Amino acid sequence: IRIYMAKKTENAQEVIREIEAGKRYPIYFLMGEEPYYIDEISNRLLKLVLTESQQDFDQRILYGKDLSVAQLINEARRYPMLAPYQVILVREAQMIRNFEEEFLLYVQQPMPSTILIINYKYKSLDKRRKLYSALEQSAILFESKKMYDNQIPAWITRFLSEQEIQIEAKAAQMLADFLGTDLGRIVGELEKLKLLLKTKPYKITAAMVELNIGVSKEYNNFELIDAIKQKDQFKAQQIAQYFARNPKNNAMVVTLIVLFDYFSKLLMYHYLPDKSSSNVASQLGIPPFLVKNYQQGAQHYNANKVVRNISLIRHYDARLKGFEQAALPESELLRELLCLLMA
């Protein structure tokens, strides 16, 4: 069996495709703030590298809190019993004492008959240290970065599309607003929604999300942007009032992120020489069906007004955090901001 030596990447799907194609590396060093992809890669390796009968003898799971570097190296240098190589998964490796200093010895000479999977969650190695440089030469070095709030709707759409499932843009935004950036939690809720899909073409709607996840399909940040782009002050204030009655599921900080993302992209839209739908979608990094949000918004907000609105959003973000002026209740701040944005 051929063992490949090194690759540095942030593309989890690329790593998973190589695993499924039978490509193997002596060390999989999986680090970063987002645990979802670290678990996905680890679980795929545990499932596919060895057969079930081989797993009983040549697969082990170790935990960093119970492990020293010396013990880990001793385990990794053992020979497999039945399979061509052994597989060792180390969970919570960030809890191993003196890990960055002492693990370097193994990385410089990894055991050819061992596939060692290191879960180094919620932090990343110091890129200036020798260990990082050594891993670049002898391992899959994967960094799982935390996603930003404004990236989540597109991620949900892409995740489902890979399974031939569509989702309404409104539904994706509702889920993003309600669930935040925890990909594991998001996937768990999507799995529940998938159980409701009975006939093709499979599609998750805003109504399904409202009924089964508990998010309003009428009062959410997606509808708020829809009101703002049309300068519908009445509808926007209705949504703000609903948010005030349900603050737990409608934090203003999330709304500010959505507003800032919308107006930032709208500013980019104004300065695009080519405003064809395909180019706008490509340049703004949005699905083609959302291009109309910016086409309509540009009719009501010229570039100068967009710059002003971005400044207003930043100002109210500071006020929300208690700077510049005495903090008002979130509901009052949001109502005030909406009036100014659409003035």
pLDDT tens for the chain, residues 1 to 343: 456 667 888 899 999 999 999 999 999 999 999 999 999 999 999 999 999 999 999 999 999 999 999 999 999 999 999 999 999 999 999 999 999 899 999 999 999 999 999 999 999 999 999 999 999 998 999 999 999 888 899 999 999 999 999 999 999 989 998 888 999 999 999 999 999 998 889 999 999 999 998 888 889 999 999 999 999 999 999 999 999 988 888 889 989 999 999 999 999 999 999 999 999 999 998 888 889 999 999 999 999 999 999 999 999 999 888 876 656 788 889 999 999 999 8
- In terms of Cβ atoms closer than 10 Å to its own Cβ (0-12, 13-18, 19+), residue 234 is exposed
pLDDT in the model for residue 325: 63
pLDDT in the model for residue 22: 92
- In terms of Cβ atoms closer than 10 Å to its own Cβ (0-12, 13-18, 19+), residue 235 is middle
**Structural contact between residues 183 and 147, judged by C-beta atoms closer than 8 angstroms:** yes
Residue with tokens 């944005």: 341
**99 to each of 64, 71, 91, 126, 320, how far by Cα in Å?**
10, 12, 13, 12, 41
Task: Encode burial over 254-274: b for 16+ CB neighbours within 10 A, e otherwise.
Answer: bbbbbbbbbbbbbbebbeeee
pLDDT in the model for residue 177: 86
Q: CA-CA distance, 322 to 254, in Å (whole number)?
A: 17
Residue 88, number of CB atoms within 10 A of its CB: 19
Please provide the DSSP assignment of 216-264 as one string: -SSSSHHHHHHHHHTT-HHHHHHHHHHHHH-GGGS-HHHHHHHHHHHHH
Query: In the numeric block, which tokens belong to residue 46?
Result: 């545990």
pLDDT in the model for residue 324: 67
pLDDT in the model for residue 249: 81
**62 to each of 22, 34, 36, 87, 131, how far by Cα in Å?**
24, 21, 19, 11, 21
pLDDT in the model for residue 58: 97
**Which residues, listed in sequence order, are joined to residue 97 by a DSSP beta bridge?**
none
pTM score of the predicted model = 0.78
